[in-house]
């Protein structure tokens, strides 16, 4: 057993197909998503504690005598899955706060599982980490979420994921040229709307409304197929921006709470200032807005929005152990 482990797990941005990774949709056929990991991370530190208690430090600090007493539900279930009942200290640090549409809870789950299994001397594949993270969040805890975030965090890079009727997830890495990667890093912008929210409520409504929105969600799935093919064959250009815009217009119609007048106004301001397309990230209701914007218009967009901008780049790395002793 190791004495100390630190893992580093990326957050993600989803370009299109979000919502088709929910079982209410993919059990009627299949779902598909195009997403990428970014260079913003969740760091998990796990180390041996001097006694048999558990200390868990996140936005709060818990010290308990047994795993069953932990209030942090994901951490509790990760420890149970790995078979650790005490004598451990866990700390999490995030580059970006939760509830901002970047998949942080699933990145946390993947990162913690990676740390705990490494701590007891087991190394899991990206596939196995993602699968077990889904098991904890969806099957054990019953969170009304999809499967894309766990796989994006575990694998890293730009990916096309499909969600099969039987619950299996298939991953196809999207290879883009160095020039396209540079353009993505230069032309994609992210701004924080200032609103944090829990995805669970919106996603629960979306699952409930799925049967009435099959046509829209099928379009979004098919657009993920189209985007994958376009990125592979033609690369990253203004057509990608048009796809983002279409995806956002469609997604807003899926259920209530995905957008609101404030978000719609921000998006229109960005378009008026020169952005070519974009979308709100995550389940909706707040968090970060993603924009495609040529460099000559970027300052005008910043001036128009007057929001905090997040500098980021695409990350090719999935969750990994960065320190052990």
Minimal CA–CA distance to 133: which of 161, 167, 110?
Answer: 110
Residue 98: closest CA among 17, 8, 200, 204: 200
Per-residue pLDDT tens over the stretch 40-63: 999 999 999 999 999 999 999 999
CA distances from 101 to 15, 62, 272, 303 (A): 12, 26, 24, 23
Write the DSSP string, 174-221: PP--HHHHHHHHHHEEEEE-S----HHHHHHHHHHHGGGSHHHHHHHH
Q: Report the alpha-carbon distance of residue 6 to residue 324 in Å, rounded.
A: 7
The pLDDT of residue 61 is: 97
Higher pLDDT, 321 or 213: 321
Write down all domains in the chain, each with its CATH number in brackets: 4-175+315-324 (3.30.230.10), 178-310 (3.30.70.890)
Instruction: Report the share of the chain in percent with pLDDT over 90.
Output: 78
| pLDDT recorded at residue 280 | 87
Mean pLDDT of 227-246: 93
Residues 6+ apart with CB under 8 A from 14: 33, 34, 35, 103, 148, 152, 281, 282
Reply yes or no on whether the pLDDT at 206 is more than 50.
Answer: no
pLDDT digit string, tens, across residues 67-119: 999 999 999 999 999 999 999 999 999 999 888 889 999 999 999 999 999 99
The mean predicted confidence, pLDDT, of the chain is 91
Query: Please, how many CA atoms are within 13 Å of residue 281, restricted to the half-sphere of its CB?
Result: 31
The mean pLDDT value for 235-247 works out to: 92
Average pLDDT over residues 260-275: 92
Beta-ladder partners of 6: 45, 323
Residue 274: half-sphere exposure toward Cβ, Cα within 13 Å: 15
Longest dimension (CA), the chain: 60
- pLDDT by residue (tens digit) across 11-36? 999 999 988 999 989 999 999 999 99
Q: What is the per-residue pLDDT for 212?
A: 61
């Amino acid at each position: 057993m190791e004495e100390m482990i630190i893992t580093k797990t990326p957050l993600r941005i989803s370009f299109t197909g979000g919502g088709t990774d929910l079982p209410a949709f993919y059990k009627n056929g299949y779902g598909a998503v195009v997403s990428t990991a970014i260079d913003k991370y969740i760091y998990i530190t796990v180390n041996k504690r001097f006694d048999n208690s558990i200390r868990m430090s996140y936005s709060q600090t818990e010290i308990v005598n047994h795993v069953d007493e932990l209030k942090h539900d994901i951490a509790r279930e990760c420890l149970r899955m790995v078979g650790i009942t005490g004598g451990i200290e866990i700390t999490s640090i995030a580059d970006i706060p939760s509830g901002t549409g970047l998949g942080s809870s699933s990145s946390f789950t993947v990162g913690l599982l990676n740390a705990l299994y490494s701590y007891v001397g087991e190394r899991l594949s990206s596939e196995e980490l993602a699968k077990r993270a889904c098991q904890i969040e969806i099957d054990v805890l019953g969170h009304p979420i999809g499967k894309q975030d766990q796989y994006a965090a575990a694998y890293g890079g730009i990916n096309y994921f499909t969600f099969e009727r039987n619950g299996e997830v298939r991953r196809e890495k999207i290879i883009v040229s160095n020039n396209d990667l540079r353009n993505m890093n230069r032309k994609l912008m992210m701004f924080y709307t200032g609103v944090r929210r829990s995805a669970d409520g919106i996603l629960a409504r979306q699952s409930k409304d799925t049967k009435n929105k099959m046509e829209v969600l099928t379009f979004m799935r098919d657009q993920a197929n189209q985007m994958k093919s376009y990125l592979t064959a033609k690369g990253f250009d203004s057509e990608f921006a048009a796809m983002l815009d279409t995806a956002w217009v469609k997604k807003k119609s899926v259920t209530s709470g995905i957008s609101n007048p404030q978000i719609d106004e921000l998006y229109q301001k960005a378009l008026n200032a020169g952005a070519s397309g974009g979308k709100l990230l995550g389940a909706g209701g707040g968090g970060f807005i993603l924009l495609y914007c040529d460099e000559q218009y970027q300052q005008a967009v910043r001036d128009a929005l007057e929001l905090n901008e997040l500098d980021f780049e695409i990350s090719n790395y999935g969750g990994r152990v960065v320190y052990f002793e």
